């Protein structure tokens, strides 16, 4: 099974699990700029609600961009850390690679998982240079 995380938007988090032959579960968490507080507890709750164990995951897919600076950074850091702790591969998925067809997307994820290697981490693709300013 692949855990899929999308934190590219500041208003929501998408958590899903894909199994080999079927799209298992999907959860949309509506939030507003609180990814760091909500992501891990929602992943934990999602797995518990669906009677899934983190150890049963074979890989983690995370949206690598483009997207908001903080939301991407939090999602990718979480995915990289979980993959490291579980000793499974993690790989990034760019928003341009998305397809609305769940079956094709699931097949795409498993093809990417085949190429993914443990110990190789995802880097964010912000889409533009960060615009960080000081408060006035």
Q: Is the pLDDT of residue 42 over 80?
A: yes
Q: What is the CA radius of gyration of the chain?
A: 14
pLDDT at 114: 93
Q: Is the pLDDT of residue 9 over 90?
A: no
pTM for the model stands at 0.85
Angle 109-126-14 from CA coordinates, rounded to 5°: 45
Q: Which two tokens stand for residue 79?
A: 């995915």
pLDDT tens-place string over residues 101-121: 778 888 889 999 999 998 888
Q: Is the pLDDT of residue 18 over 70?
A: yes
Burial 89-113 (b: 16+ CB within 10 A, else e): bbbbbeeeeeeeeeeebbebbbebb
Q: Is the pLDDT of residue 40 over 80?
A: yes
**Mean pLDDT confidence for 5-18:** 87
Q: What DSSP string describes 30-65?
A: E-SS-HHHHHHHHHHHHHHHTT--GGG--EEEEEEE
Distance CA 102, CA 109 (A): 10
E strand residue ranges, the chain: 2-6, 12-18, 23-30, 59-65, 90-94
pLDDT tens-place string over residues 61-96: 999 988 888 888 999 999 999 999 999 999 999 977
């Amino acid at each position: 099974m692949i855990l899929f995380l999308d934190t590219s938007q500041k208003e929501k988090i998408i958590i899903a699990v894909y199994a080999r032959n079927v799209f298992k579960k999907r959860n949309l968490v509506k939030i507003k700029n609180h990814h760091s507080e909500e992501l891990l507890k929602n992943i934990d709750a999602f797995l518990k609600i669906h009677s899934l164990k983190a150890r049963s995951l074979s890989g983690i897919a995370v949206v690598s961009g483009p997207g908001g600076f903080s939301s991407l950074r939090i999602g990718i850091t979480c995915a990289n850390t979980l993959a490291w702790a579980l000793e499974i591969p993690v790989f990034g998925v760019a928003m341009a690679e998305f397809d609305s067809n769940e079956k094709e997307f699931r097949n795409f994820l498993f093809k990417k998982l085949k190429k993914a290697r443990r110990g190789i981490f995802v880097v964010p693709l912000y889409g533009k240079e960060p615009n960080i300013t000081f408060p006035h």
